[in-house]
Amino acid sequence: MSDTNDFNARTIAEFRAHHGQVGGNFAGAPLLLLHTVGARSGAPRINPMMYLSDQGRYLVFASKAGSDRNPDWYHNLIAHPDVRIEVGDRTLAVRAVELLGAERDAHFAEQARRYPGFAGYQRATERVIPVIALTPLEGTSS
């Protein structure tokens, strides 16, 4: 777990130092920082992740690299859907809603088309990878 925490800490620092841009595996990809509250612990968490822009919403994918379990941040969003994100130099308050059915499928297919690794993640697991829409709340940009 320490390796993951170290990777996330480095990615977060680079994101903030370079106005939302990072190198390495995320070079050129749309990236945001998701601020959640632990579902059980109540502790604040920050996770860097790729997103797909969709008519003012930010879609994120609970892939966990094809694990058979959803990532912790997914459970945090289900428990506490009103959260914040950092996109570039902006911080936005957003509400998280899980997409289902055909809407979920269409957006996941588009993400997999743009970034084929996501298709590989879905093939690696029997679970349906959740797609979460993060919709900005009015008057929250800073």
Q: How far apart are CA 82 and CA 90, in angstroms?
A: 17
Measured in Å, how far apart are the chain's first and last C-alpha atoms? Answer: 32
Q: pLDDT band at residue 133, thresholds of 50, 70 and 90?
A: very high
Contact status, residue 44 vs residue 25, Cβ threshold 8 Å = no
Q: Picking from 15-24, 69-78, 100-109, 132-141, which range would have the lowest pLDDT averaged per residue?
A: 132-141
Residue 87 has pLDDT above 70, yes or no: yes
Percent of the chain with pLDDT strictly greater than 70: 96
Residue 108 has pLDDT above 90, yes or no: yes
Q: If you ran DSSP here, which 8-state letter would residue 69 be given?
A: S
CATH architecture of the domain 2-136 equals Roll (2.30)
State pLDDT tens for residues 39-76.
999 999 999 999 999 999 999 999 999 999 999 999 99
**CB burial readout 10-39, b (16+ within 10 A) else e:** ebbebbeeeebebeeebeeebbbbbbbeeb
Torsion of CA 126, 46, 14, 116, to 10 degrees: 20
Q: How far apart are CA 123 and CA 125, in angstroms?
A: 6
State pLDDT tens for residues 24-35.
888 899 999 999
Structure tokens at 131: 């797609």
Q: How far apart are CA 11 and CA 110, in angstroms?
A: 25
Note the pTM of the prediction, 2 decimals.
Answer: 0.92
At 5 the pLDDT is 83
Q: How far apart are CA 62 and CA 129, in angstroms?
A: 6
Residue 96 has pLDDT above 60, yes or no: yes
- pLDDT, averaged across the chain: 94
